[in-house]
Structure 1
Amino acid sequence: MKIKELRITDFKGIKEAEYKFGKITKIMAMNGIGKTSIATAWYWLWSDKDYELHSNPNVRPYNVEECIPKVEAVLDINGIETMVSKQQKRAVSKPDARGISKVTLTNTYEINSVPKTERDFRSYLEEMGINFDKFLPLSHPDVFTSQKVNDMRKVLFEMVESKSDKEVATLTEGCAEVAALLDKYKFNEIEAMHKASRKKAEEQVKAIPNQIIGLEKAKVGYDVAELELQSNCLREQISEKQSLIENGNSASEKYKKASTELLKVQFEINDINRKACEELYLERKKYQDVADAADMGFDSAERKHKMAIMDIEKLKSNIDRNETERKKLVKKYQDAVATEFDDSRWVFDEESTICPNCGQTYPEDHIDQIRVDFHHKKEDAKKKFQIETQSQIEVISSMGMELKNTIERDTKTIKDIELEIEQYKTEKIQFNGQKTKALEKLSTLQNDPDLSDNQEYEVLCLKLHSMEEALKAMESGADYSNVIKAEIRQLKEELEIVQAQISKASNNVDIDEQIIALQQKQREYEQAKADSEKILYQLSLVSKKKNELLVGEINSKFTVVRWELFAYQKNGEYKECCIPLVDGKRFGESTNTGREIIAELDICDSLQKFFGISLPVFLDRAESINDDRIPNMDCQLVLLKVTEDPVLRMEVA
């Protein structure tokens, strides 16, 4: 495919332009003149990308909304002249509830002036031999080397007669296990399985020693025979203590009965105190409710007071605004009344008495009729002016009266509100007085009831005191029983601890069995790790062998570039890669820009030759290489060069 002509309309900084192309085309100008925009137009036509490879770029001119960017190309495809075009339309929806409008950009296509959908556009051109998947890597110098390593390797391996992984494994010494696995699985499946197996084995080999340490810590060093003796001794002591409790049961029963009688008297005293507290609470609540109601009334009056002040300020603001507007209307009214009909604009034109066709003066009777018609038009204009002026005066007068009424109404409302404010002030004073009286009354009441004059309460208190003294004399028997019970509880707790220690000591055997099982698993995982590492090592040998077999054949397809397809890391491990070399150096490592550009062109040229595809190549930064160093390529080459030219200049060869 070759470009014969490129027409660009409303595209980025290009308003409308037409460019013709040859085998080698140089586009030259200073920076910012539009060289890259031409390249962007070409790649946008085919891939929705700009020259920098940004997807869906903004191709519309800056600050221009109503336009349709369009790129049209006249091409030579296998000797057939074909015209293709692409344009972009912009639609703005109505604002939604939030006032936001949605902008939609739609691309449309044509081939030989026949509209096409994007799918039909691509399908039509693919039938003519255009490969859209390989278009960018084969026509843009920056695309191929910016791809992922695996994607580049995949394309490069298409350029040679490949051998299957099984064939390569058979040819590689010491890779019999991998060769056998390749009968059932693919290379990457084997690699993924054994990487996962190695990772799991490494995790378990690392985790199991910690598990064994935890089990060792769980073991106890108790003497089971000694613990059994302690257990029997504690049981005997508990039995002896229980026999002593029977002696204290009688004293305990008397103590319980006296305690019950004492509680009854205590309940009676508490009931009298409770009733007195309720009466005092109701009395305090009565005055507190009055104070709270007065407080709420004061708050309500205060809010109304503030709202009334705000209303007055708002009305005064309205009055000031309306007074200003009314003064403007008075000025308009005065101007309208003073306006008079302008007779100077109605002067009879003597040229109207001359025929525009023959240039002779009309007859006298015809001239008189023209003067009469002019007079009637003047009178009609004067009447119309008077009617319009009178109508304007009436409208101004009506608006002035309406403003006057509004001002008077707002002034009256202010006076009414001022009367309400005085009422709110009076209410606040009243509520403050009510609250003060209630709080003064509340302060005279005690917080706790005074039962000093209650004879029943005093009698019960004396009775309670005597019963408490009598109960103290009986506590010796009950206390003895409680002390014995406490000692029994202590002995039982000690017995439970000893029995728990005996149980833990018996678990040592189970723990030893678990440790032996974990040690066996550790050995199995270490073996699994070694087996996976062996398979992974064999896979690396197969990969290396495959690369060694293919790298020479791949490099023979290129003139300038050589490819490094595998490398050894610092830790000695073999790793697949895909690195372009120029003069034995990697891109960016002591290679000059011009040499790298020549290498990128070599990649495009070599790939196009191998795949039998010829596509135009656009090269930016062409000023970095001399004209005599530009490689001889079979495809069409477009060079974008920065020069001192203030206007875009093209040279076509």
Structure 2
Amino acid sequence: MTTILLLRLTLRNFKGIDEFEFNLDGKHTKIFGANATGKTTIVDAFYWLLFGKDSQNRTDFQIKKLNPDGTVAQHMLEHEVEGVLQIDGIERTFRRVFAEKWTKKRGSVKKEFTGHETCYFVDEVPMKEVAYKAEVAQIIKEDIFRLITNPVHFNEQLKTEQRRALLLDICGDVTDQDVISSNEELKELPGYLNGRTIEQHRSIIEGQKRNLNKEIEKIPIRIDEVRRSMPDISQIDVNKIDTEISNLRDQIAEQENQLQQIRSGSAAIDIQNNIRHLEGKLLEITNRLKAGSVDLIAAQRKALADHQWEYDQLTQQIAQKRSQCQNNQRRIDAGKATAQTLRNRWSEVKAATFEHKHENEGSCPTCGQALPEDQLQEAFEKAEADFNRQRAQTLESIQMDGKASMKEVNELEASNETLLAEIETLTQQQSEKQAGIIFAKTELADLDDAMIDPKEDADYQAVQQQIVALQNQLKDIRTLEQESVANTQQMIASLRTEAAQLEQQRAQVTQANAVTARIAELEQQEARLAEEYEQLEYQVFLIENFIRTKVSMLEGRINSKFKYARFKLFETQINGGLKEVCETTYRGVPYSSGLNHAARINVGLDIVNTLSVHCGVTAPIFFDNAESVTKLIDTNSQMIPLVVSKEDATLRIENMEGVHA
């Protein structure tokens, strides 16, 4: 068990206290003072020294002394708290200093406020913040420190879940299997859990219940919506309607068959066949009358076509030869131009003379010495011979190219003379063919004029009169058919309208049946969902029964760890369900309602005692309004009650009897 005692606490410029030294020597000590004299400041200073927070767990509280208007009373002060602790008999000194930073900028005479800094010391050794916090944490963690130094912290600062978790940590939890084994009614629960914890399964069940409840609430609305869409069929006789619809369909089919027979009448077909037969006779008469003339006309047309084809062939040949002449002429012109260029070039080369200069001015190109006269003459003669040879070769090459060019020109000119002669012959033949075409056209026109017109033949006219008579008969029959078709179609339309009206009534019956079936389906769904909801409720009952059993088992363990405090871990709701709580009670009175301040302090001290044992550490206990507590329970921790005393305008300390060992 680690024992932490407060030996001395010194405050300088901390909140409203300019300087105060609090010597306790590890003893139980009361602090007296009227309201606003700084009792709570002592507690804030102790917490701030260790953790940088006040007693309310705030980091942004005001450390500096303020004027009535809220401004800082005095700048450039160091705000300091120093505490001497005895930890298992060893003294340790902790000091925290909060100060303003004033900096003189370059070129300025006055210093300017640029922020704050905090300095840390352990046993007079300066430390960084991280190292300082590590030193404090090595002694005790902040959350544990607050639990065992403030008797109301457990009940007033921790949330329900935190209090429950801490109590379970103290007394030790019981396993789910232990709870299930202790109650026969819970034997079905593991099958529902399917490997999940009670909390996990309860969360799932609650979600499923919410979803099911939403679905169940929607179904009556859906049923009402569906029911409103149901048509009134109370006056409809379904069997009678079906019989009438069937009769109307038979009548429609009969009328449609009659319409088909009218449209395919045999009298009209016979007349049409006779007309086609007579039209065939007209064709035979026409062919007979035109038989001789047609053959002559055909022969003449063939002759005209032959002449035209031959004329076109001659035209094509003439065009090809003229095109060839034009191409040859372009090549002739180009060849003559080339020959003239070569002649000019030949004359230039022929007129060229030899000119010789020594490249090195008579010196050897290797050693730079002057060459002898005979060597210079030899070099001159050699250069002149090379020049003459190259000129002769160039002249010969030009002469050969010129001859080749002129040869091609002469050949092309000879070819053009031949082509022009052929064009003249072909043109004469074309003129002859043109005369033949004119003659053939004249003969063809004479044959057309001599052809007999079939419409002037007596037999042709008699057959034509028979066709006209039959066409008039067919027109009369068609007029009668159209009237009959119109009457029949009107009858069919009337029957279909009547049938459609009956089918509309029949559709209402079908719709009503569908609505009834849908309502039945929704009602079945509602029953199924209600059954599922009841099953979930049963699982909730098992879970709550489990919690009751577990709580009953835990309460005994938990309450055995405390001398005065008792704990209520669940409460029964109006609907019979259980709600997890963590209410501290003393002699049956809840901490949060009805328990007076003295009882709250003693119950809190009882909790601190148990927590100190559980955590293996004791520390000074501060609590306010101690004047209302006439008797404190025994505790192993150093007690520092804060007492409101109107007579004490300034803080006063008083050692209580006994020394905390």
Give the TM-score normalised by the residue count of structure 2.
0.53
Alignment of 1:6 with 2:9, yes or no, is yes
Structure 2 residue ranges without an equivalent (≥5): 67-71, 105-111, 253-495, 657-661
Correspondence for 2:533: 529
Q: How does 1:222-233 map to 2 (within 5 A)?
A: 222=233, 223=236
Distance 1:91 1:226 in 2: 102
Q: Which residue of 2 is the match for residue 599 of structure 1?
A: 603
Q: For 1:169, what is the secondary structure of its paired residue? A: helix
- How far 1:177 sits from its partner (Å)? 2.8
Shift in alpha-carbon separation, 1:510–1:584, aligned structure 2, 3 A: same
Q: Does 1:576 align with 2:580?
A: yes
Task: Indicate which of 519, 524, 539 corresponds to 2:523.
Answer: 519
After superposition, the C-alpha distances for 1:432-484 in whole angstroms (9 at most, x for unaligned) are: xxxxxxxxxxxxxxxxxxxxxxxxxxxxxxxxxxxxxxxxxxxxxxxxxxxxx
- Tell me, yes or no, if structure 1 residue 81 matches structure 2 residue 62: no
Describe the shift of the 1:510–1:614 C-alpha distance in structure 2 as closer, same or farther (beyond 3 A): same
Q: Determine the C-alpha separation between the residues in 1 that align with 2:609 and 2:539.
A: 40
- C-alpha distance 121-534 of structure 1, shift in aligned 2 (>3 A): farther
- CA–CA distance in structure 2, aligned partners of residues 56 and 576 of structure 1: 34
- Listed as ranges, the matches of 1:298-377 within 5 Å are none
How do 1:619-638 and structure 2 match up within 5 A? 619-626=623-630, 629-638=631-640
Whether 1:30 aligns to 2:30 is no
Code of the residue aligned with 1:185 in structure 2: it is: R
State the match for 1:649 in structure 2: 652
Amino acid at match of 1:2: L
> Given that residues 591 and 600 in structure 2 are in contact (C-alpha distance below 8 angstroms), is that contact kept between their aligned partners in structure 1?
yes
Give the drift of 1:601: 1.8
- The CA distance in 1 between the partners of 2:51 and 2:136, in whole Å, is 13
Match of 1:111 in 2: 122
- Cα distance, 1:503 vs. partner? 4.9
Q: Please report how far the alpha carbon of residue 211 of structure 1 lies from its aligned counterpart in structure 2 after TM superposition.
A: 0.9
Tell me what 2:556 maps to: 552
- 1:136-182 CA-partner distances (Å, limit 9, x unpaired): 12211221002211110111111213211232122222112323345
SS in 2 for 1:69: strand
Equivalent-residue separation in structure 2 for 1:133 and 1:502 (angstroms): 80
* 1:132 equivalenced with 2:142 (yes/no): yes
Does the C-alpha gap of structure 1 residues 175 and 90 become closer, same or farther in structure 2, counting only changes over 3 Å? farther
Is the contact made by 1:48 and 1:57 (CA closer than 8 Å) also made in structure 2? no
Letter of the 1:174 partner, please give it.
Answer: E
Distance 1:93 1:214, change over 3 A: farther
Is it true that 1:149 corresponds to 2:196 in the alignment?
no
Shift in CA distance, 39/532, structure 1 to aligned 2, threshold 3 Å: same
CA RMSD of aligned residues (A): 3.6
Q: Which of 196, 205, 224 lines up with 1:185 in the alignment?
A: 196
In structure 1, the residue matched to 2:60 is: 56
Aligned to 1:371: none
* Residues 183/106 of structure 1: CA separation in 2 closer, same or farther (3 Å cut): farther
CA–CA distance in structure 2, aligned partners of residues 154 and 494 of structure 1: 81
Report how far residue 41 of structure 1 moved. 0.8
Name the structure 2 match of 1:160: 171
**Is 1:18 paired with 2:29?**
no
Structure 2 residue matching 1:201: 3-state secondary structure: helix
The 3 A distance-change label for structure 1 pair 221 and 37 is: same
Q: Is this contact kept in 2: 1:166–1:183, CA < 8 A?
A: no
Aligned partner of 2:354 in structure 1 is none
TM-aligned CA deviation for residue 209 of structure 1: 1.8
Distance in 1 separating the partners of 2:543 and 2:204? 12
Checking the alignment, whether the CA contact within 8 Å between 2:565 and 2:585 is kept in structure 1 is yes
Aligned twin of 2:542: 538
Give the corresponding residue for 1:422.
none
Alignment deviations for residues 199-219 of structure 1 (CA, whole Å, 9 cap, x no partner):
222222222122112112111
* Aligned partner (choices 71, 75, 89) of residue 81 of structure 2: 71
Tell me the amino acid that sits aligned with residue 535 of structure 1: Q
- Residues 152 and 601 of structure 2 are in contact (CA less than 8 Å); yes or no, is this contact kept in structure 1? no
- The whole-number CA distance in structure 2 between the counterparts of 1:494 and 1:142 is 90
Q: What is the SS of the residue equivalent to 1:60?
A: coil
Supply the distance in 1 between the matched residues of 2:132 and 2:180 (Cα, whole angstroms).
Answer: 45
The SS at the match of 1:645 is: coil
Q: Which residue of 2 aligns with 1:213?
A: 224
- Per-residue CA shift, 1:65-97, capped at 9, x if unaligned? 433322221111223222222233456999xxx
TM-superposed CA distance for 1:498, in Å, is 8.7
Once the two structures are superposed, residues 34-86 of structure 1 have per-residue CA deviations (whole angstroms, 9 ceiling, x without a partner) of 11111111122334443344453212211234333222211112232222222
Q: Distance in 2 between matches of 1:555 and 1:540?
A: 21
Identity across aligned pairs (percent)?
Answer: 26
Paired residue type of 2:636:
D
Q: In the TM superposition, what whole-angstrom CA distance separates every residue of 1:359-402 from its partner, at most 9, and x where no partner exists?
A: xxxxxxxxxxxxxxxxxxxxxxxxxxxxxxxxxxxxxxxxxxxx
Q: 1:118 Cα deviation (Å)?
A: 4.1
Whichever residue aligns with residue 14 of structure 1, its letter is I
**Contact 2:152/2:600 (<8 A) preserved:** no
Q: How does 1:394-409 map to 2 (within 5 A)?
A: none
The residue that corresponds to 2:180 in the other structure is 169
CA contact (8 A) 2:192 2:539 kept: no
State the secondary structure of the residue aligned to 2:221.
helix
- Give the corresponding residue for 1:122: 133
The structure-2 alpha-carbon separation of the partners of 1:207 and 1:106, relative to structure 1 and needing over 3 Å to count, comes to farther
- Give the Å deviation of 1:636: 1.1
Could you tell me which residue of structure 2 aligns to residue 506 of structure 1?
Answer: 510
Larger radius of gyration: 2
**Structure 2 contact 583–592 (Cα < 8 Å) conserved:** no
Distance 1:91 1:530, change over 3 A: farther
| Bigger Cα displacement from structure 2, 615-624 vs 104-113 | 104-113
Alignment of 1:355-504 (within 5 A): 503-504=507-508
C-alpha distance 200-604 of structure 1, shift in aligned 2 (>3 A): same
Contact 2:33 2:643 in 1 (8 A): yes
The 3 A distance-change label for structure 1 pair 60 and 503 is: farther
C-alpha distance in 1 between matches for 2:514 and 2:114: 73
* SS in structure 1 at match of 2:137: helix
Task: Extract unaligned runs of 5+ from structure 1.
Answer: 95-100, 237-491
The amino acid that maps onto 1:124 is E
Q: What amino acid does structure 2 have at the position aligned with 1:210?
A: I
Question: Which letter maps to 2:77?
Answer: C
Equivalent residue number for residue 640 of structure 1: 642
What amino acid is aligned across from residue 604 of structure 1 in structure 2? Answer: V
Q: Secondary structure at the match of 1:572?
A: coil
Q: Summarize the Cα distance change of 1:204–1:620 in structure 2 as closer, same or farther, 3 Å threshold.
A: same
**Aligned counterparts of 1:499 and 1:26: Cα–Cα separation in 2:** 100
SS at match of 1:23: coil
What is the alpha-carbon distance in structure 2 between the residues aligned to residue 184 and residue 524 of structure 1?
26
Deviations 1:282-334 (A, max 9, x none): xxxxxxxxxxxxxxxxxxxxxxxxxxxxxxxxxxxxxxxxxxxxxxxxxxxxx
TM-aligned CA deviation for residue 17 of structure 1: 2.2
Contact 1:170 1:179 in 2 (8 A): no
> CA–CA distance in 2 between the matches of 1:165 and 1:530?
24
